[in-house]
Amino acid sequence: MRERKRRETRQRIAEVGQRLFLANGYEGTTLDAIAAAAGISRRTFFSYFKSKEDVILFWQDADLAMLIADLLKTSPDVPPLDAVRDVMVKHIARYTTEQMTAVDNLMRSSESLLARKQAYYAEQEQALFNTLCEVWRQPERRLALRMVAVVSVGAMRLALQAWRDQTGQRKPVANFLRDAFDSLRTEL
């Protein structure tokens, strides 16, 4: 019961923080504002998060955990690159263009968040590799699985950049990610 209440409070703080960040920007949102809107004290905030940056990272970690959980359900009969593509496209397709734009603008609004975003790619690559090794257990495949993790995160980074750079009517980011994986497959 206590652990469930702790998870619920952490979730509530993260939801409030996300809403405030999207409305007021990263710099325009204070810890005090997050705490007040979540109905807790500033001191209690620090029982759940180390910083307001950690509130943003909570969502990244939750998204990665869902992606990993879906990848773990993949049959080892499916080629790893196809499995990663399918899971990544499925996950990114959940976001509307407006949501992606808001989150992208937020992550690019501060040097610390931008640096954290870059570090997150390395974490995502490692988590992806570890998961691939759980699904495709043959030790002789480790190097190839590492390459799948590297190129998959690279494809995602390039897809996000292409999506960000588009002009005119914005296409969904999932289209760019699917195209990046198709290009990767064609070049391989």
Query: Per-residue confidence at 70, pLDDT binned at 50, 70, 90?
Result: very high
Closest among 112, 123, 117, 121 to 26, alpha carbons compared:
112
Q: Rounded mean pLDDT of 133-138?
A: 97
Q: pLDDT tens digits for 6-59?
A: 999 999 999 999 999 989 989 999 999 999 999 999 999 999 999 998 998 898
Structural domains in the chain, CATH included, are 1-49 (1.10.10.60), 52-187 (1.10.357.10)
Rounded to the nearest 5 degrees, what angle is found at the Cα of 29, between the Cα atoms of 118 and 43?
Answer: 100
Residue listed under structure tokens 């960000």: 164
Q: Rounded mean pLDDT of 159-186?
A: 92
pLDDT at residue 147, as a whole number: 97
Helices (H), 25-141: 31-38, 42-48, 52-72, 80-92, 97-107, 111-135
Residue 156 has pLDDT above 90, yes or no: yes
Rounded to the nearest 5 degrees, what angle is found at the Cα of 2, between the Cα atoms of 123 and 17?
Answer: 50
pLDDT at residue 97, as a whole number: 85
Neighbours of 45 (CB within 10 A): 21
pLDDT at residue 79, as a whole number: 96
Query: Per-residue confidence at 140, pLDDT binned at 50, 70, 90?
Result: very high
pLDDT at residue 55, as a whole number: 93
Residue 156 and residue 88 in contact, taking contact as beta carbons nearer than 8 Å: yes
If one compares 46 and 1, the residue with the highest pLDDT of the two is: 46
Q: pLDDT tens digits for 71-123?
A: 999 999 999 999 999 999 999 999 888 888 888 888 888 888 888 888 899 99
pTM assigned to the model: 0.87
